[in-house]
Structure 1
Amino acid sequence: MDNATELHAWLDEYSVSHQNPTNIIIHKICVPAITFTVLGFLWSVPLPKAIRQNLGYLLSHFIPLVAIGPILAFYFRLSTKMATAMSILLALAMMVLGIMEQKSVRIFRVSLFIFVLAWIGQFIGHNIEGKKPSFFKDLQFLAVGPLWTLASAFRALGIEY
């Protein structure tokens, strides 16, 4: 199976449990929110001061970078365009986290609050849909959800992926 076919297979299978228009809207809001909060959790992992002082600002937050590396590799294997767009979006999210940190926002607490609300939204959406979330079948769908959301944006903008 070539990469484009594999990407479409993942997106098509994810779409099976996302047919109801209300559930789709909920997911287009909640999936990006969950993605942002996971980055927020990773951003909040404390590093020893000695390590932080010897690294540049961005590298002092290498835990999110290391964690998203394999996911981005999966995305690049499926679609260079989508992976590039996702890389830009994740970089913007990390910039927002950096600004939040500089403003002394309690990133972990804010992330936890949004994370809980977004997952409640997800489960409400699946209750409306009448189908279990895709990740109950395969945990890789947790990585496919953001791609599915991005694919919708690509289609709306007329961009092939």
Structure 2
Amino acid sequence: MKTLAEQMSFYQRYHRSPKNRLTHFIGVPAIMLALLQLLSWVKFGTSGMSAAQLFVLILLVYYFLLDIPLALAMTVFSAALLLLAERLAELPVERGLTAFAILFVGGWIFQLVGHRFEGRKPALLDNFWQVFIAPIFLMAELFFHFGYKPGLRREVERRAQSA
């Protein structure tokens, strides 16, 4: 498994423009919320567990393998998204599908506009698995902004520049 710094440096090469990064802070959570809403409609037997809960659990296990402090922050963020997604999934079907479409399509529009600013295609077109790195990358960006994880920041920037 690649380290977080390796994965983030690949992702960062596609996200250097501040405008692109800003659009991703809107687009990525919107897409995540839409997908969690969709997965919330799928329940497993009598357990009451949804596919959204299972997905978040698996993703968080992966994040904990990469970086514990970032994973803890992602746990809080993911829990909030999951709660909201479950509320959206309780809407009447027509309203729920409308909410899903607005979040999903709107999120991708923000992403694509960001990549127009960047002048580069999205990272997931070269490596689909980057779609799972985007949320933790954005959380790391918040950490970096407030002065946390400077060693990770230096390592990601060093790797991104040398590639």
Q: TM-score range by the shorter chain?
A: 0.7 to 0.9
Q: Which amino acid aligns with 1:121?
A: F
Q: Structure 1 stretch 106-115 or stretch 118-127: which is displaced more?
A: 106-115
User: Map of 1:20-35 to 2, 5 A cutoff?
Assistant: 20-35=17-32
- 1:96 pairs with 2:93: no
Cα offset for 1:73?
A: 2.1
Q: Residue 29 of structure 1: CA displacement?
A: 1.2
CA RMSD of aligned residues (A): 2.3
Would you say the 8 A contact 1:41–1:107 is kept in 2? no
Task: Classify 1:131/1:103 alpha carbon distance in 2 versus 1 (closer, same or farther; 3 Å).
Answer: closer
Q: Which runs of 4+ in 1 moved over 3 A?
A: 98-108
Give the whole-Å Cα distance in 2 for the aligned partners of 1:119 and 1:70: 23
**Does residue 33 of structure 2 align to residue 36 of structure 1?**
yes
Seen in structure 2, the aligned counterparts of structure 1 residues 102 and 41 have a Cα distance that, compared at 3 Å, is closer
Q: CA–CA distance in 1 between the matches of 2:125 and 2:91?
A: 38
Percent sequence identity is 27
Give TM-score, length-normalised by structure 1: 0.80
Residues 37 and 85 in structure 2, CA contact (< 8 A), matched pair in contact too: yes
Q: Which runs of 5+ in 2 are unaligned?
A: 153-163
Check 1:158–1:104 CA distance in 2 against 1; reply closer, same or farther (3 A cut).
Answer: farther
For 2:127, the equivalent position in structure 1 comes to 138
- Which of the numbers 136, 141, 144 marks the counterpart of 1:155? 144
1:102 Cα offset (Å): 5.6
Report 1:92-131 matches (<5 A).
92-101=80-89, 106-131=95-120
Query: Retained in 2: the 8 A contact 1:75–1:82?
Result: yes
1:76 to 31, 52, 64: 64
